[in-house]
């Protein structure tokens, strides 16, 4: 061996020695594309901000795939330290109480200041247990909001509607007249069921939306919800609403192409829309409500996902996870994540920082999601907790597809959803022993 | 007559061991585990479970969506198997007659063979894309308002087209080599006996192709039931919605997407039994009628 390669080998062994002194943790997530870039930036910044810990983010596909991969890995004893779990999977993870360390416990055990009141009210309790203890750390929190094409609305001579009555009577006819498809939306179960409930402060399930018991029953076969869907079916027939399938992007594309004037999407879609340099001006506002149901509309649920600290890890690694969560919730990190993606800042401090920095003066639409989450709360707006909820959403999507493409009767479809969903909830109850 | 055999008992066992171990680890053990979990409802993380007997099976038998996807699976498999075999056979018979430029022609027909099912699905998605797919414009010529992912029938149609397209080259290769292995003397004799080309095909060529055809029938049924997973997965774009689904895809949706271990195990057991029955049926009833040279 030459002297040079010996020296290189020595240098190499020194660097690996330095690397092993750090505690390494892994983070499995479901953020692809531009969101993935922003997420990787957070990890890089965390690694650069200190020398004790090293976090490695790993992209695991869709939300469903990331959850399944995390569960399979847990059963094999190979779980990551941090797993991103989306809203619909929350009941599965929180139900398995041995699988995760509640975030609140993790933080306090590792000497990190934690006060649930620091979090904005709309996100505070969604991933909490029935005692209001935070189990999952809200990470990418969004809310469904109404995006609109300013040029289209001006051409039609209308304003963005605040109520569905206004949409049906004034906005939609004028937009059709101006040559636009008035409305599309990207996630029927999330926007037109879950958040329909919270916006109107209607109960979504028994047991306080499922938070206080396992023998929960869903409440979707209700006159209010069915009236909304009957209206949708009518709107689709007379060209006020177009449905492009259950896929998110298929419904977003016609808005971006300028065919659809109003699109209901996620506040987290904002960053992506800004980057796309659309050929028209757009803005956003609150989700409309039905005046016939309430005159005091309430806040919406958060969507998106949260981060769970998986159990079965060493104390050093848990300390690293706590340090990472502390970094993640700092106002600066939250603000930059909010600015780049459109997801809401989860703490009041981060929200204040965004306001001070003038972010909302530059982009008023960026504030809509958080403002909507900060509207008055009601007894039914905390969130919901239902097991096998991914399958329940699939049942909803299937029946909504049948309502909108096969003309199936709304009453029949909702009776089917309610009975199949309740059968799934009962089955989930049995899995919990 | 003395039977040839091993003198020691352990030697054949030893020689069989590697194969047996592989089968045990990758088939018997998971199958036994799947059978067991089909009688339980289990927490996804494996913390707790409840014995439900045949409950999971009864739930499936009473589920309209399961029965609907069973019905779809039958229609889908029959269509894909029949169409991909029939089209490949026509192409092979025609290609067999081509003399000039035969190689180029055949290579072009075989090309698609190299495409993996998910990639075939993505290509299908592009062809049938809602806003700019070329096949959509083609359908519009006939006044067909084709919308993938919205209309159940249209989505099913696209799945069949892509699955058939993907499978034709494999069948083509086998049929062509089957045709080319039919002895010249037989063909010439047939030419004297029968002047009608279609008559010669059905009386002589087709029976002689039967062994190849039988092999392809089995592989194509397997393909349409199992290997089309990738095509279906990409076509539904991650949202099952009201799209058509085969039984194999439903196992995935309920088990790996919905985390219902018991229910999807019961579905896998049902599929396992079906495949077993089908194999017995094929070899007992059909193979007897086929003569290998």
Say whether B45 and A74 touch across the interface (CB within 8 A).
yes
Indicate if A262 and A404 belong to the same structural domain: yes
Residue B190 phi/psi, 5-degree rounding, is -65, -35
Contact A351, A123 (CB under 8 A): no
Nearest-5° angle of CA A311, CA A313, CA A316?
Answer: 130
> Above pLDDT 90, what percent of chain A?
82
B 56-75: CB under 8 A from A: 59, 65
Closest to A308 (Cα-Cα) out of A4, A8, A26: A26
Indicate if A265 and A179 belong to the same structural domain: yes
Indicate if A191 and A71 belong to the same structural domain: no
- The H-assigned helical ranges of B8-50 are 10-23, 29-37
Per-residue pLDDT, B292: 64
Indicate if A136 and A173 belong to the same structural domain: no
Q: Tokens 């099912």, residue?
A: B117
Per-residue pLDDT, B153: 92
Asked if the C-beta of B12 comes within 8 angstroms of chain A's C-beta atoms, the answer is no
For the stretch A200-244, pLDDT in tens is 999 999 999 999 988 999 999 999 999 999 999 999 999 999 999
| Confidence band, pLDDT 50/70/90 cuts, at residue B2 | low
Tell me the C-alpha to C-alpha distance, in Å, between residue A73 and each of A68, A69, A378, B31, B104.
Answer: 8, 6, 38, 20, 49
Indicate if A71 and A183 belong to the same structural domain: no
Is position A179 within any domain? yes
Indicate if A131 and A166 belong to the same structural domain: no
Per-residue pLDDT, A12: 46
Distance CA A103, CA A135 (A): 5
Return the C-alpha torsion angle A250, A256, A257, A262, nearest 10.
90
- Expressed in angstroms, the distance from the first to the final Cα of chain B is 29
Indicate if A118 and A50 belong to the same structural domain: yes
Indicate if A193 and A315 belong to the same structural domain: no
Ordered domains of chain B (ranges, CATH): 72-239 (1.10.3720.10)
Contact B241, A401 (CB under 8 A): yes
Q: Which two tokens stand for residue A225?
A: 């919800």
For the stretch A296-355, pLDDT in tens is 999 998 889 999 999 999 999 999 999 999 999 999 999 999 998 889 999 999 999 999
Return the C-alpha torsion angle B37, B38, B44, B47, nearest 10.
-40
Is position A373 within any domain? no
Is position A169 within any domain? yes
Indicate if A121 and A32 belong to the same structural domain: yes
Contact A301, A126 (CB under 8 A): yes
The SS3 call for residue A357 is: coil
Closest to A186 (Cα-Cα) out of B237, B233, B132, B158: B237
Residues of B in contact with A404 (CB under 8 A): 150
Indicate if A126 and A161 belong to the same structural domain: no
Q: What is the mean pLDDT of residues B48-77?
A: 94
Contact A146, A185 (CB under 8 A): no
The SS3 call for residue A170 is: helix
Say whether A427 and B263 touch across the interface (CB within 8 A).
yes
Burial annotation B220-229 (CB, 10 A radius, 16+ → b, else e): bbebbbebbb
Is position A10 within any domain? no
Is position A119 within any domain? yes
Contact B60, B262 (CB under 8 A): no
Asked if the C-beta of B181 comes within 8 angstroms of chain A's C-beta atoms, the answer is no
Q: What is the pLDDT along chain A (433 residues), one digit of tens a residue?
A: 445 454 444 444 444 444 457 899 999 999 988 889 999 999 999 999 999 999 999 999 999 999 999 999 999 999 999 999 999 999 899 988 889 999 999 999 999 999 999 998 888 889 998 888 999 999 999 999 999 999 999 999 999 999 999 999 999 999 999 999 999 999 999 999 999 999 999 999 999 999 998 899 999 999 999 999 999 999 999 999 999 999 899 999 999 999 999 999 999 888 889 888 899 999 999 999 999 999 999 999 888 999 999 999 999 999 999 999 999 999 999 999 999 888 999 999 999 999 999 999 999 999 999 999 989 999 999 899 999 999 999 999 999 999 999 999 999 999 999 999 999 999 999 888 6
Is position A349 within any domain? no
Per-residue pLDDT, B291: 66
Distance from CA of A96 to the nearest CA of B (A): 7
Tell me the C-alpha to C-alpha distance, in Å, between residue A312 and each of A100, A109, A316, A405, B203.
Answer: 8, 15, 12, 48, 70
Q: Mutation target for B interface from A250, A404, A428: give the one with most B CBs within 10 A.
A: A250
* Count of domains for chain A: 2
Contact A158, A151 (CB under 8 A): no
For the stretch B79-135, pLDDT in tens is 999 999 999 999 888 888 776 777 787 787 777 778 888 888 888 888 888 777 888
Contact A332, A353 (CB under 8 A): yes
**A248, closest residue in chain B (CA to CA):** B239
Is position A371 within any domain? no
Asked if the C-beta of B47 comes within 8 angstroms of chain A's C-beta atoms, the answer is yes
Is position A322 within any domain? yes
CATH of the domain at A226: 3.40.190.10
Per-residue pLDDT, A16: 47
Q: Which two tokens stand for residue A313?
A: 């890890």
Distance CA B106, CA B98 (A): 10
Minimal Cβ distance to B41: which of A64, A405, A427: A427
Per-residue pLDDT, A433: 67
Indicate if A63 and A81 belong to the same structural domain: yes
Q: Which two tokens stand for residue B26?
A: 């990758």
Residue A36, domain extent: 22-142+302-329
Minimal Cβ distance to A431: which of B48, B149, B243: B48
Per-residue pLDDT, A401: 94
Q: What is the mean pLDDT of residues B141-150?
A: 83
Indicate if A38 and A178 belong to the same structural domain: no
């Amino acid at each position: 061996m030459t002297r040079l390669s010996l020296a290189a080998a020595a240098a190499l062994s020194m660097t690996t020695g330095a690397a092993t002194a750090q505690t390494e943790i892994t983070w499995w997530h479901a953020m692809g594309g531009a969101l993935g870039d922003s997420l990787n930036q957070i990890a890089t910044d965390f690694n650069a901000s200190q020398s004790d810990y090293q976090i490695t983010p790993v992209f695991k596909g869709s939300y469903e795939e990331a959850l399944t991969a995390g569960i399979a890995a847990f059963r094999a004893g190979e779980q990551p330290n941090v797993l991103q779990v989306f809203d619909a999977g929350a009941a599965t993870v929180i139900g398995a109480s041995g699988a995760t360390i509640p975030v609140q416990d993790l933080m306090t055990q590792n000497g990190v200041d934690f006060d649930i009141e620091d979090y904005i009210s709309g996100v505070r309790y969604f991933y909490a247990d029935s005692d209001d203890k935070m189990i999952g750390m809200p990470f990418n929190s969004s809310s469904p909001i109404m995006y609109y094409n300013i040029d289209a609305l001006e051409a039609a001579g209308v304003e963005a509607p605040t109520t569905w009555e206004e949409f049906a009577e004034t906005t939609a006819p004028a937009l059709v007249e101006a040559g636009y498809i008035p409305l599309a939306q990207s996630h029927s179960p999330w926007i037109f069921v879950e958040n329909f409930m919270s916006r109107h402060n209607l109960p979504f399930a028994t047991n306080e939306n499922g938070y206080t018991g396992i023998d929960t029953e869903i409440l979707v076969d209700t006159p209010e919800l069915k009236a909304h869907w009957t209206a949708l079916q009518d709107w689709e027939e007379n060209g006020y609403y177009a449905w492009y399938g259950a896929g998110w992007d298929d419904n977003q594309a016609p808005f971006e192409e300028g065919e659809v004037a109003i699109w209901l999407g996620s506040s987290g879609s904002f960053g992506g829309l800004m980057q796309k340099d659309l050929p028209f001006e757009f803005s956003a506002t609150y989700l409309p409500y039905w005046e016939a149901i309430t005159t005091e509309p309430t806040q919406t649920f958060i969507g998106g996902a949260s981060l769970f600290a998986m159990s079965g890890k060493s104390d050093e690694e848990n300390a690293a996870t706590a340090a990472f969560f502390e970094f993640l919730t700092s106002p600066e990190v939250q603000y930059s994540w909010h600015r780049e993606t459109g997801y809401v800042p989860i703490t009041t401090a981060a929200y204040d920082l965004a306001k001070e920095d003038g972010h909302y003066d530059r982009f008023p639409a960026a504030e809509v999601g958080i403002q909507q989450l900060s509207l008055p709360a009601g007894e039914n707006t905390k969130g919901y907790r239902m097991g096998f909820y991914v399958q329940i959403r699939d049942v909803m999507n299937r029946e909504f597809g049948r309502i909108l493409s096969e003309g199936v009767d709304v009453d029949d479809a909702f009776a089917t959803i309610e009975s199949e969903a309740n059968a799934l909830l009962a089955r989930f109850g049995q899995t919990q022993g | 007559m003395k039977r040839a055999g091993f003198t020691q008992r352990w030697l054949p066992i030893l020689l069989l061991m590697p194969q047996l171990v592989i089968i045990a680890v990758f088939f018997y053990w998971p199958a036994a585990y799947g059978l067991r979990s089909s009688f339980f409802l289990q927490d996804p993380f494996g913390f707790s479970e409840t014995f439900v007997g045949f409950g999971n099976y009864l739930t499936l038998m009473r589920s309209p969506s399961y029965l609907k996807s069973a019905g779809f699976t039958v229609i889908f498999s029959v269509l894909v198997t029949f169409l991909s075999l029939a089209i490949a056979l026509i192409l092979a018979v025609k290609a067999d007659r081509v003399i000039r430029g035969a190689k180029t022609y055949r290579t072009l027909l075989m090309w698609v063979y190299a495409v993996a099912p998910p990639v075939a699905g993505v290509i299908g998605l592009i062809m049938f894309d809602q806003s700019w797919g070329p096949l959509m414009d083609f359908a519009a010529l006939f006044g067909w308002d084709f919308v993938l992912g919205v209309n159940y029938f249209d989505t099913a149609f696209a799945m069949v087209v892509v699955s058939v397209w993907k499978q034709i080259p494999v069948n083509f290769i086998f049929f062509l080599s089957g045709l080319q292995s039919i002895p010249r003397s037989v063909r010439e004799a047939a030419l004297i006996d029968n002047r009608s080309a279609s008559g010669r095909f059905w009386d002589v060529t087709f029976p002689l192709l039967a062994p190849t055809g039988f092999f392809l029938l089995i592989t194509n049924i397997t393909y349409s039931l199992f290997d089309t997973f990738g095509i279906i997965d990409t076509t539904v774009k991650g949202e099952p919605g009201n799209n058509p689904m085969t039984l194999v895809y439903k196992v995935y949706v309920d088990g790996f997407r919905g985390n219902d271990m018991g229910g999807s195990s019961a579905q896998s057991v049902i599929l396992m039994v079906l495949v077993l029955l089908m194999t017995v049926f094929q070899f007992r009833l059909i193979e007897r009628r086929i003569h290998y040279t």
